[in-house]
Amino acid sequence: MTVQTLSLLLSFAAILALTAIFLRVRLRAGAAKDYAPVQRRAYRFRAILFWGMVLVGLPATVWLLRITPYAAAPTGAQVVNATGAQWFWDLDRTDVAMGEPVEFNVTSTDVNHGFGIYDETGRLVAQVQAMPGYVNHLTHTFDTPGTYQILCLEYCGLAHHDMMTEITVTAAGGTNG
Ligand SMILES: [Cu+2]
């Protein structure tokens, strides 16, 4: 099962669960109940929820920040300057070597775009926002040679789906394949 299928199934499960909760609330809305015990239970549940989120969320946040992909690029990285515009990408180079870090400096001339790099199987390997007035830096080291597609990841107008370009990653030693 692909990650996409899994997230689709999880989304459906969450939608069904939410629908069930709403239906239950709607069906029981007419019944009279004493307020105090309900409130006590709800406050206890809220406290558990809060501390559960703190206990799980805090370590998860620290751990995820540690592996965030937006770390500073090492010196000597291959640099690609990329500019998004309605509706095309402008790259100052389209050939990079695998196994060495590539720093993408990404910006936009008009509206927000999403700079998404996809491998030959259609898997998203890295992404960053392309924003007017800012240059965002994305560092990625390709570990597989091939032709990667760059697609816009954020709806930016009528021809958003046409915002595509390619970048070629060559194996160390200069052969591509
Ligand atoms: Cu777009």
Q: Please, which residues have CB within 8 angstroms of residue 141's CB and are 6 or more apart in sequence?
A: 98, 99, 100, 101, 102
Q: Same structural domain for residues 131 and 165?
A: yes
- Tokens at 106, concatenated: 């990404």
Q: With a threshold of 0.85, does the pTM exceed it?
A: no
Cβ pair 80, 139 in contact under 8 A: no
Give CA separation, 126 vs 50, 70, 143, in Å.
Answer: 33, 10, 12
Are 52 and 129 found together in one domain? no
Q: What is the pLDDT of residues 94-114, one digit of tens each?
A: 999 999 999 999 999 999 999
Instruction: Give the residue numbers spanning the domain of 166.
Output: 78-170
Ligand 1 centroid to residue 65 C-alpha, Å: 27
Domain identity same for 87 and 54? no
Cα separation values, 117 from 15, 103, 105, 165, Å: 30, 13, 13, 10
**Ligand 1 geometric centre to CA of 163 (Å):** 6
Quick check: 104 and 140 in contact, CB under 8 A? yes
| Cα-to-centroid distance, 148 and ligand 1 (Å) | 17
pLDDT value of position 95: 95
Is the model's pLDDT at 77 over the cut of 50? yes
Query: Within 13 A of 21's CA, how many CA atoms are on the CB side?
Result: 6
Residue 73 lies in a domain: no
Number of domains comprising the chain: 2
Same domain, 112 and 42: no
Tell me, yes or no, whether 112 and 50 share the same domain. Answer: no
Do residue 28 and residue 95 come from a single domain? no
100 in a structural domain? yes
- Domain match, 165 and 84 both: yes
Distance (angstroms) between ligand 1 centre and the Cα of 116 equals 10
Same domain, 29 and 88: no
- Compute the distance from residue 14 Cα to the ligand 1 centre, in Å: 28
Please say which residue of 66, 88, 109 terminates a domain. 66
Domain check: are 95 and 162 in the same one? yes
Residue 71 pLDDT > 70: no
Q: 29-40 pLDDT, tens per residue?
A: 888 888 888 899
Q: Which residues contact 5 (CB under 8 A, 6 or more apart)?
A: none
